[in-house]
Amino acid sequence: MHKSADFECEILHEDWRTKIRVTANLKKSLTIGREPGRTGLVIGPSDPYVSSKAVLLTRRSDGVEIRNTSSHAQVDVQQSNALRHIFPGEGIVMISSFVMFLPSKDFTYQVSVDIEGLEVAGQRVGVTRRLLSQKIVISEERMPALSGLCASFLFPGRFGTSPLKASQIAEILTSRGHSVTAKAVKHKIQRTKDQVEQATGNYVDDREGLAQFLIRNRLVTAEHVRHYLIGEAPEEESQNQ
């Protein structure tokens, strides 16, 4: 039995083009998409692949409903160790924190949703987010190289749509004061690939697959890429819904 409807629900999205971080407190409902309306959350405003109204989030007494309102694209939802696929027209109710991934042709948009204080059968859930990333700890010395690996996925407008080569990563990092060789970059990436495979029990196909895994599980974020490869701080913008 669900007892509490006064839980907190905060939504976070960071636009990789403008570097603006937007937060919203979900009060009733929120439409997310390219043209979601005056009170909606805009993602990919100039990306024709993103539906004008891709997702509808609705606050309910028993959690947060995610409804895929896109005409063509699935929405991936990461929660705990599970990745769920929501196809157009489908919807599910979530009772704890999750991350949504909205795919485009060359980029995946990410929206984080934190749920805190919801009571289910007399127990509070959603107080902390338990993602797979908590089971994998990446050493700090590898983060510059892994940020380079993920750079093109998080900032395709700046780094292109293909993963950077080890030599390119090394060149960028060295210019930013993180002296490293291409051989060292390859070694750090391989060690991380081995670590992920051991932790998950799944084979990682290639560098692209590793980058997508690191991004999906928030082991590497846009903040890391900015810190190690760009050196720009994000702007912040808040709004309430």
Cβ atoms of 54 and 68 within 8 Å: the answer is yes
Q: How confident is the prediction along the chain (241 residues), in pLDDT tens digits per residue?
A: 344 457 888 888 877 666 677 888 888 899 998 898 888 888 888 888 888 999 999 988 878 899 999 888 888 887 655 677 888 888 888 888 888 888 777 677 888 888 887 765 544 444 333 344 446 788 889 999 999 999 988 887 788 877 899 999 999 999 988 889 999 999 999 999 988 888 777 777 788 888 888 887 778 888 899 899 987 543 433 333 4
pTM above 0.95, yes or no: no
Angle at 159 between CA 194 and CA 200, to 5 degrees: 20
Specify the residue for token string 């599910």: 92
Rounded (5°) CA angle 143-99-232 = 40
Reduced to 3 states, what is the DSSP secondary structure of residue 159?
Answer: helix
For 8-130, give the CATH class: mainly beta
Phi, psi of 222 (to 5 degrees): -60, -30
Where do the structural domains in the chain lie, given as residue ranges? 8-130, 134-237
Please enumerate in sequence order all residues whose Cβ is within 8 A of that of 218, keeping only pairs 6 or more positions apart, or say none.
Answer: 99, 131, 133
Amino acid code (one letter) for 187 = H
**Other beta carbons within 10 Å of 59:** 17
